[in-house]
Amino acid sequence: MNFSLPLLPWMWLDIVGTIFGNGVALSAITVAASTSLFMRRRGTGDRARKDTTNLPMVSILKPLKGVDYQLAENLAAFVNLKGHPYEVLIGIADKNDPAVAVVEQFITENPNAPFKLIITSDRPSCNPKVINLIGLETHAKGEIIIISDGNTRPHQNSLLRLVAVFDDPRVGWACTPFFVRKPSTLGAQLRAVHIGTELLSILCGVYYLTGIPLMMGKWMAVRKQALLDMGGFATLESYLGEDGAIGPILTKLNWKGAIAPDIIDIYFGDWRIQQAWAQLLRWGRLIRSFNPAGPFNLLLWNGTFWLFAAAIFWLAKARLGAAFLAFAGIASWLCNSFTYVRFGGDARHLITLPLADIKAILIVLFSYISRDVIWRGQRFRLGKNSQILSSEPITFKDGATKSNDDLATNSR
């Protein structure tokens, strides 16, 4: 005779909460530790370059639109990079762009720096950053091509450390993680906390554990031969997320990706909360275009989300499941805090972590409301893998086109 009793609903919730709570907590701890271990390799590229003969030439391409925060100071960081002969090609599509004057003045004040300003072109129906890169590509002399956004500020060894991963002849593309420095406003701090916690952990920790590189275009490199194999930057002109598209394309051509154990500094300036929201929403919809479930990554180590889940389970009388979900939330907070402070973040910014978590939860929802992305004065409709299906300029009611400042930021 079978005397077993059926599981009550709250018992099922206890089982679910126990499994998810332990899984999330364990993964958060593992990835935080893996991120730290991965970054302990930061000096390996330096040591690998004791022989400075026959080093490959590097071309650094900087596609600009508008004046990024502290643009002149950012450019100054590129003057004395170590380890390789290099050139910095700055592309601006509009000769009347205010960035032209800043760049020209900087070049005049630094006549010995390897900088060159090139006026490129623009095609509104395509990715404006990629069209800019196409204009720079024909001028690039390097065996390694680095793409660098206007708000990046590398360290003297950053070039050395990124190019070192190309010692493996199978590597066709690579990138370096990045970290927001000195965020002065709430909007900037919200982005800084997200980038310096979950995003850094995904880039570094996941790569350390799995060898799978996730590309981010702040400081990204591609081997010239790999670029030629894929047909040049023109292959990417119809993709809004060119950094996410380049990996799958080159993988099909038998090239390998890598992540350099280093950190590039970026600066946002006086960002408003709206700007932080707009940038993360763009990311969410871009990620969704590559993977329908992609935005849910924002919940994986989201401590506030798991504490909300714990409260719901508690109200449903699943006390054991609630306890483990609360453990997952606290573990996520602690691991994210450790990662942020470990790599130079100000511990005082962590007070915004719950707010950043709530913003991320809302971004997941809004990522599925529309396929439209607003960037650089254009509204883009996205298809699969961030392919641009259509685009149109964003205008005010009086017909004026919105400026870069109105549309959050030039950098994705």
What is the tens place of the pLDDT at every residue in 217-276?
A: 899 999 999 999 999 999 999 999 999 999 999 999 999 999 999 999 999 988 899 999
217 and 332 in a single domain? The answer is no
Label residue 8 by pLDDT band (50, 70, 90): low
Domain assignment of residue 388, yes or no: no
What's the alpha-carbon Rg for the chain, to the nearest Å? 23
CA distance 227 to 247: 11
251 and 324 in a single domain? The answer is no
Q: What is the pLDDT of residue 400?
A: 45
Label residue 354 by pLDDT band (50, 70, 90): very high
Domain assignment of residue 412, yes or no: no
Q: What is the pLDDT of residue 402?
A: 47
Domain assignment of residue 282, yes or no: yes
CA distance 202 to 248: 18
Given a cut of 50, whether residue 5 has pLDDT beyond it is no
CA distance 183 to 267: 7
Query: Which of 366, 355, 378 is CA-nearest to residue 194?
Result: 355
CA distance 38 to 31: 10
172 and 75 in a single domain? The answer is yes
* pLDDT tens readout for residues 307-330: 999 999 999 999 999 999 999 999
Given a cut of 70, whether residue 199 has pLDDT beyond it is yes
Residue position matching structure tokens 């450390």 = 161
235 and 294 in a single domain? The answer is no
Query: Which of 209, 156, 126 is CA-nearest to residue 375?
Result: 126
**Three-state DSSP state, 83:** coil
CA distance 215 to 303: 25
Higher pLDDT, residue 130 or 2: 130
149 and 263 in a single domain? The answer is yes
Domain assignment of residue 135, yes or no: yes
Label residue 43 by pLDDT band (50, 70, 90): low
Domain assignment of residue 391, yes or no: no
Domain assignment of residue 170, yes or no: yes
* Mean pLDDT comparison of 19-33, 110-124, 381-395, highest-scoring range: 19-33
Domain assignment of residue 3, yes or no: no
CATH code assigned at 222: 3.90.550.10
215 and 320 in a single domain? The answer is no
227 and 243 in a single domain? The answer is yes
Query: In the predicted model, what is the mean pLDDT of residues 109-116?
Result: 95
pTM of the model: 0.90
Residue span of the structural domain in which 356 resides: 9-38+290-366
95 and 159 in a single domain? The answer is yes
107 and 198 in a single domain? The answer is yes
Q: What is the pLDDT of residue 318?
A: 92
Single residue among 258, 288, 318 that ends a domain in this structure: 288
Label residue 7 by pLDDT band (50, 70, 90): low
236 and 360 in a single domain? The answer is no
Q: What is the pLDDT of residue 53?
A: 67
Single residue among 230, 261, 288 that ends a domain in this structure: 288
Q: What is the pLDDT of residue 411?
A: 55
Single residue among 257, 288, 319 that ends a domain in this structure: 288
Q: What is the pLDDT of residue 405?
A: 39
CA distance 87 to 93: 19
Total number of domains in the chain? 2
Domain assignment of residue 28, yes or no: yes
Q: Mean pLDDT, the chain, as a whole number?
A: 90
278 and 355 in a single domain? The answer is no
Given a cut of 70, whether residue 13 has pLDDT beyond it is yes
186 and 99 in a single domain? The answer is yes
Q: What is the pLDDT of residue 376?
A: 80
